[in-house]
Chain A
Amino acid sequence: MISLHNVSKNFAGFQAVRSVNLTIPQSEIHGIIGASGAGKSTLLRLMNLLELPDTGEVVVNGQPLTSLKERKLRQARMSIGMIFQQFHLVLNKTVYENVDVSLKLGGMPKAQRQKRVMECLQFVGLENLKDKYPAQLSGGQKQRVAIARALANKPQVLLCDEPTSSLDPDTTIGILGILEDINKNFGVTIVLVSHEMDVIQSICHRVTVMADGGIYDTVSIKPKGISKVSSDPRNFFEQLKKGGEADDA
């Protein structure tokens, strides 16, 4: 569960987020959509205090992050996973080490870590690539590593900042499928920021539309299902042709 009360963020005169109130219940997949500069990424980054708000309160998993001391905040962040558009993996660490490092931060003993890393890699289907370096992987595979890393500490919340925006449609479907599985199997609350309507509509239960740093509206939707994200360029071509015929007639 995430709640934002009257949260604002200003970057050197630019009001990125203006007094936002938003509550996201446990186990919801919540989409945030809006044009570039609407403040959706900033809003997401406020949810784990990657950006410190100028005003307001951020409460995640019952903990008021905005009033926690440094140590407690770090602990709270371990139950808030995050993935990024550009993955942000450590390129000098193997797939295995990238996942392992997040467990090391929590001080887990080695034997337990080994088991947990392999569980996470199996979940995203990368156990065979555990000794590869990120430079040897495709974009989709890198995002899977990032997801495994974010999941390692069994978070209650997963923040996703444009996770599919640098991936092709097929890979996008794969990643969205994993996110949906995480939500279904582990009850993880997912906040999904994207500018792609298709992506938001496919798996989100509720959607917040942002404009000019404020919330324009929050609506419940029925997820359309991942299959509705068109992956095959031929579909696109067919649609174009249909459009063309309609015009002819």
Chain B
Amino acid sequence: MPEILLQYQDEIWRSIGETMVMVGVSIAAAILVGLPVGTLLYLCRKGQIYENPVVFSTLNLVVNIIRSFPFLLLVVFLIPFTRLVIGTAIGTAAATVPLSIIAIAHYSRLVEQSLLDVPRGVVEAAISMGASGKDIIFKFLYVEARSGLVLGLTTSIISFISYSTIMGVVGGGGIGDFAIRYGYQQFKTDLMMYMILVMIILVQLIQFTGTTIARKIDKR
């Protein structure tokens, strides 16, 4: 173990923990809110079972607007909202607010795309069998789109890691913030490189896991 890592091990572990919290909350937001929003985007589209131009255009616009922001500006823009929700705009907990919002917008778009890949005929067959809207979603659409949903979530998680690295601006901490403050700003280039290595390993692991699961559950 290089000495510099031993010297900073407390800070390193803490920053890894902060990253895990930020990314973990983002993943939860993506699944709990992003998945339903993406599904609604799909269902309200023209020609789909709950076709509704008003709901579709509104959601579509909101998702687009959130994704148009350079993420750093979104964080700053959301400070009043974050303060309202968490009580403070500073720290790891506060950092999860903008991260969750971008996570929802990011994953909902990928969910919509995965669902659009399900052949129309499958939905028609479901309707002809007397399936309700809920049945169509859970027994047909999600079953047929499941590997796309997993791959999309994998892509999203990797983006969340990337987004989380700049949360240092609001005192969110995390690996990225540690690498910048201790590695870059204090000219400890080797420390910065070790942190980049940690991120590379993390991303590789997530991508490998996601791809493997997606392949295993894809019987098409």
A interface SS class = mixed
Which of B127, B129, B139 has the largest number of chain A CB atoms within 10 A?
A: B129
Q: Which of B105-147 contact A (CB under 8 A)?
A: 119, 121-122, 124-125, 127-132, 135, 139-140, 143-144, 146-147
Residue in chain B with minimal CB distance to A49: B127
With both chains docked as a complex, state the minimum distance between the C-beta of A61 and any C-beta of chain B, in angstroms: 13
A92 part of interface (Cβ distance < 8 Å)? yes
- Among the 9-residue stretches B182-190, B191-199, B202-210, B212-220, the one with 4 or more Cβ atoms under 8 Å from chain A is B212-220
Residues of B within 8 A of A149 (CB): 125, 129
A241 within 8 A of B: no
A77 touching B144, Cβ below 8 Å: no
Q: What is the CB-to-nearest-CB distance from A138 to chain B, in angstroms, rounded to a whole number?
A: 16
The answer on a CB contact under 8 Å between B124 and A92 is no
- From residue 145 to 175 of chain A, which have CB atoms closer than 8 A to chain B? 146, 149-150, 153, 159
Pairwise interchain contact A91-B130, C-beta atoms closer than 8 A: no
Residues of A within 8 A of B119 (CB): 86, 88
Contacts of B129 in A (CB 8 A): 77-78, 82, 101-102, 105, 149-150, 153
A18 CB within 8 Å of chain B? no
Asked if A77 and B219 sit within 8 Å, CB to CB, the answer is no
Q: Quick one: given A105-B135, A135-B220, are A88 and B130 in contact (CB under 8 Å)?
A: no
Q: How many residues of B contact A (CB 8 A)?
A: 22
Q: Is A184 positioned at the interface, with any CB of B under 8 Å from its CB?
A: no
**B125–A92 touching, CB < 8 Å:** no
A123 at the interface (CB under 8 A from B): no
Contact B143 A88 (CB under 8 A): no
Number of interface residues of A (CB under 8 A): 31
* Chain B proximity mask over A115-154: 1 for CB below 8 Å, otherwise 0: 0000000000000000001110000000000100110010
Cross-chain contact of B219 among A74, A88, A135 (Cβ < 8 A) = A135
Q: List 16 extra interface pairs beyond A82-B129, A88-B121, A135-B220, CB under 8 A.
A: A50-B128, A74-B132, A77-B127, A77-B129, A77-B130, A82-B128, A88-B125, A89-B125, A90-B144, A92-B219, A101-B129, A101-B139, A104-B139, A134-B219, A135-B219, A153-B130
Residues in B lying within 8 Å of A, measured CB to CB: 119, 121-122, 124-125, 127-132, 135, 139-140, 143-144, 146-147, 217-220
Q: Which 10 A-B pairs have the closest CB atoms?
A: A88-B121, A77-B130, A88-B125, A82-B128, A78-B130, A91-B220, A133-B219, A74-B130, A102-B129, A92-B219
A–B pairs, 5, beta carbons within 8 Å = A75-B130, A88-B121, A91-B219, A105-B135, A150-B129
